[in-house]
Amino acid sequence: MKIKNLIVSALSLVLLLSLVLPLSPSAQEKSQEKQEQSTAIIIPETVKTAIQEGIQTRQPRLDIPFTIIKHSYLPAQQNIHVIIFFKVKNSDLGFASLTSDIEGQKKKQEKEEEAQSIFETTPNKLNAKANVFLQFNKLEDNIPGELVKEIYIPFNLEVDGVSYEPDKEEIYSFGYPIPPGDYLLSTAITSNNLDKIGTQYYELSLPNVLSSSGELDTTPIFSVKNIEQMSAPEAQVQIHKGFFTYSILQIVPNLENLFSPKDNLDLFFFILGAKPNEQGKFDIEINYEVYKGEAIQIRYQPQIYDSPLISQPLPMKKTVLIKSEEGEKKETRDLEPGSYTLSLKITDKTSGNSITRTIDFEIKT
């Protein structure tokens, strides 16, 4: 990772004040509000109709096939910053293969004549231009109710035509702060002229980070491949390929939880419900253990944190006892390929509350 706990520690005070306490709207929210005020209709009628046709049965429209694979969330002032991950095959988006100049020109001409492709080609690049529309409805008894938010995201992606893989599924993300609650998210990806409309529906539940229930909880715990610091938070919601953003962080997640033997298990999550002491500081202890089945493989030293925002690298190395004629000695070895479970026992030493969470991961050669 390019940054570790140093940046997270520096961010902790700012994040805790800006992400948990009720403050003025974020730059992203202000930008979205300006966009909504200047645009009479966020979702065009043709797209709205396509969404409404399948909203009750959650039946997708597959003009442009895509799949929402999972979501995560983190605190965002009085709201929750929800992050949605979706995947789509390159060929389903309309990229043209540059196998040869003749075939490339022929395919380009055919697509221009059909006027259906949402992409324009150049000799060396493929440029994706499309629209993404989001609709959040309150979900009550599994029935979509009150409309909470409509969002428009322009989609502009440039790739190298030489390395383009038509059958490859790429993972993209978008994020937006919304209030806690149960929602049905309707997502539409369209061509610029709206001739092609693909829809998907996704249910999600977002907790109240300001709840005073006294119980501990966590945001979804995930591992990251890389974290970098941006110069400033994004002013507008955007589609990202292979990463997501949070505050001033750009994060590449390991969504599959697949690792090589020498990798670290780099965790990133937020502890909900922890209480600061009289001095306004947190005192959180986490005990990490790795299991293979019922057998413990690694027991790490307990870690103490003064912030509920956790960024923790865990080396996946175990200590084994070697016996020989010369006696016994300990060696440190990488975990062997296989399936494992990481257990986290989290204790808020200020309140005395604790909670245990587990995540499964796999090591491959």
Q: What is the CATH number of domain 1-22+212-365?
A: 2.60.40.2550
Helix, strand, coil percentages in the chain from 3-state DSSP, rounded to 5: 15, 50, 35
The pLDDT score that the predictor gives to residue 127 is 76
Whole-number Å distance between alpha carbons of 282 and 275: 6
Query: Which backbone phi and psi does 33 adopt, to 5 degrees?
Result: -60, -40
3-state secondary structure of 12: helix
Query: Which backbone phi and psi does 250 adopt, to 5 degrees?
Result: -110, 120
In the chain, which residues have pLDDT < 50?
1-7, 9-10, 12-14, 16-17, 20-27, 31, 34-40, 96-102, 104, 115, 122
The pLDDT score that the predictor gives to residue 95 is 53
> Is the CATH number of domain 23-209 2.60.40.10?
yes
Whole-number Å distance between alpha carbons of 365 and 3: 26
- Other beta carbons less than 10 A from residue 185's beta carbon: 23
Tokens of 203: 């249910």
The pLDDT score that the predictor gives to residue 120 is 52
The pLDDT score that the predictor gives to residue 190 is 93
CATH 2.60.40.10 region(s) of the chain?
Answer: 23-209
The pLDDT score that the predictor gives to residue 109 is 60
The pLDDT score that the predictor gives to residue 96 is 44
For the chain, the distance separating the N- and C-terminal CA atoms, rounded to the nearest angstrom, is 20
The pLDDT score that the predictor gives to residue 162 is 78
CATH 2.60.40.2550 region(s) of the chain?
Answer: 1-22+212-365
DSSP secondary structure code for residue 78 in this structure: T
The pLDDT score that the predictor gives to residue 35 is 45
The pLDDT score that the predictor gives to residue 166 is 81
The pLDDT score that the predictor gives to residue 13 is 41
pTM: 0.82
Pick from 274, 344, 347: nearest CA to 307: 274
Contact in structure between 314 and 327 (CB atoms under 8 Å): no
